[in-house]
Chains A and B, each alone.
Chain A
């Protein structure tokens, strides 16, 4: 049985083999380029991304199994696009439950419906729901394909010291402890990050005084594949409830409990089953898959980079779950960090490029924290007057479109546009639309060698240049000019495919790509390895591209 066809039970029981590390059997003192702490979705994404770029990685995890429980569950379009690049997007999408539509109810009544991907012409849906252990399993399977990726289970970091050229970690294993050195450390070891604690650092912010119950139940049900959110429903008065579909006939029900609820008592089947039954009706048969009671905080570290140690995912920032901004933003941290780290390690960019990881992702964390704080304040009003306004909005939303925009059951994860990044080349030419420097490149259907495909899988990992032209002779000149920049992938885009020797020719047969990028003849986009726009012009000019490349690599 391969992992990709394995069942949930298999994943939940999987124990990975601990191998006695070479440092314990023989005294070696080698320095690794990168050590990653934590083999969750973020650590695994970092490890695969770096390995793909030829960087040797050691990945340490203090445990030897995958995520317990469905946890993260909602994987956003942008994360799926990153998984596509890392090699497991198709598996995640095939196994997962795709959804675009959310419905909001107040008491008994539906008040608001939203569609997170209202237009056609995107490879990936707005969201896929998939239990975290599957996602980690697929990432793990990808990771094992790279000999330069050394994954070590049951390896707990217990000490860390660093100087200007690297860090030394003490790792505890079942066979005793050893020390290991690296030029850089990525701490992706979760909200209770041991690396953060060992370094005496803090993640600070607002702790919410509320408790929530997750009940994953297995049942045959005919709810549509949508996100359903209730404010003050008759079956769970004065609190909120969220319903999500998962693969394997599992449904997640998230009940708000209030601060005074006792987490130990609320976890017992005697308490959980009546709550679920109240929602589903007395006749519906179900079994409990996983139950958890949680609290949350919106917080982040002041800085994500501390010398040679870079923090990513929950170790660096935390959000409330309403908005699916936890794991998604963590994978986007990995996407932002790894191309920069690989370039620095290979001597292709100065070390200062890494400081833009902090700048860009701290900005993104603030955006995620703002959105999730606002959603939480709407869902759990903190005062009588706040509750009064919340209920007034919900009442008005039944009849008036303006009020529906104010209803906030979670603003769901969208990638950040790094509009103020120093890596951007500001626009000199006039453009319309959202694809400004710093924006994540939008997807569109294209044809490659007469076959239907999508834009995003054609770029990323390297810098790319997208040039729009319908002239064969212009295409040939571009191909010739781009030969001076072998590290940059060139894509020529036209209404009818051009024929060029060594350049990718994409056909924008539906015209959607040109429309989404506000492209005209000779419009040129310069795209970073993480698929964010770095620069754009109304004409193709080699020296402008070279200058933009220097800017985007902090040179």
Chain B
């Protein structure tokens, strides 16, 4: 499917959010940027479909 899913998709959203914030625990700001960039690249590769990724990119640019 080549549509970006923006409906709730986590079995437990709070578990995910806690894991995300925990990942950054004890990191410097610079390290956090590095980790975020790596995480985006890992997830982007998992998604693979460039049209989905482009939609996500444009959604992320809204309301800056």
Q: Which residues of A contact B (CB under 8 A)?
A: 371, 374, 377-378, 383-386, 389, 393, 395-396, 398-402, 404-406, 408, 411
From B33, which residue of chain A is reached at the shortest CB distance?
A: A385
Bound CA–CA A374/B21 (angstroms): 10
From A408, which residue of chain B is reached at the shortest CB distance?
A: B14
Report if A411-B8 is in contact (Cβ < 8 Å); known contacts: A377-B21, A385-B27, A399-B59: no
Residues of B within 8 A of A386 (CB): 21, 24
Residues of B within 8 A of A411 (CB): 14
Residues of A within 8 A of B8 (CB): 401-402, 404-405
Distance between B23 CB and nearest chain A CB, rounded to angstroms? 10
A402 in contact with B9 (CB, 8 Å):
yes
A385 in contact with B13 (CB, 8 Å):
no
Contacting A at CB under 8 A, from B1-33, are 5-10, 13-14, 16-18, 20-21, 24, 27, 29, 32
Report if A401-B29 is in contact (Cβ < 8 Å); known contacts: A385-B24, A386-B24, A411-B14: no
B6 in contact with A400 (CB, 8 Å):
yes
Residues of B within 8 A of A383 (CB): 24
Bound CA–CA A29/B33 (angstroms): 70
Distance between B59 CB and nearest chain A CB, rounded to angstroms? 7
**Which of A389, A393, A396, A405 neighbours the largest number of chain B CB atoms within 10 Å of its CB?**
A405
Q: How many interface contacts (CB-CB < 8 Å) are there between A and B?
A: 50
Residues of B within 8 A of A378 (CB): 17
How many residues on chain B are close to A (CB under 8 Å)?
21
Bound CA–CA A120/B63 (angstroms): 38
Bound CA–CA A389/B19 (angstroms): 12
Bound CA–CA A393/B10 (angstroms): 14
B17 in contact with A399 (CB, 8 Å):
no
Distance between A418 CB and nearest chain B CB, rounded to angstroms? 19
Main secondary structure of the interface of A (DSSP, over half): helix
Determine whether B37 belongs to the interface, using a CB cutoff of 8 Å to chain A.
no
Bound CA–CA A377/B18 (angstroms): 9
Bound CA–CA A386/B24 (angstroms): 8
Bound CA–CA A406/B12 (angstroms): 9
Residues of B within 8 A of A406 (CB): 10, 13-14, 16-17
The residue from B5, B10, B17, B32 contacting A374, defined by CB atoms under 8 A apart: B17
Bound CA–CA A383/B27 (angstroms): 10
A405 in contact with B10 (CB, 8 Å):
yes
11 A-B contacts, Cβ less than 8 Å apart?
A: A371-B14, A374-B17, A374-B18, A378-B17, A384-B29, A385-B24, A385-B27, A385-B36, A393-B17, A399-B6, A401-B8
A408 in contact with B29 (CB, 8 Å):
no
A395 in contact with B17 (CB, 8 Å):
no
A374 in contact with B14 (CB, 8 Å):
yes
Q: With A401-B7, A411-B14 given, can you name 8 additional A-B contacts, CB distance below 8 Å?
A: A374-B17, A377-B18, A377-B21, A383-B24, A399-B59, A400-B6, A401-B8, A408-B17
Residues of B within 8 A of A404 (CB): 8
Determine whether B62 belongs to the interface, using a CB cutoff of 8 Å to chain A.
yes
Bound CA–CA A411/B16 (angstroms): 15
Residues of B within 8 A of A389 (CB): 17, 20-21
Bound CA–CA A430/B62 (angstroms): 48
Bound CA–CA A408/B14 (angstroms): 8
Residues of A within 8 A of B21 (CB): 377, 386, 389
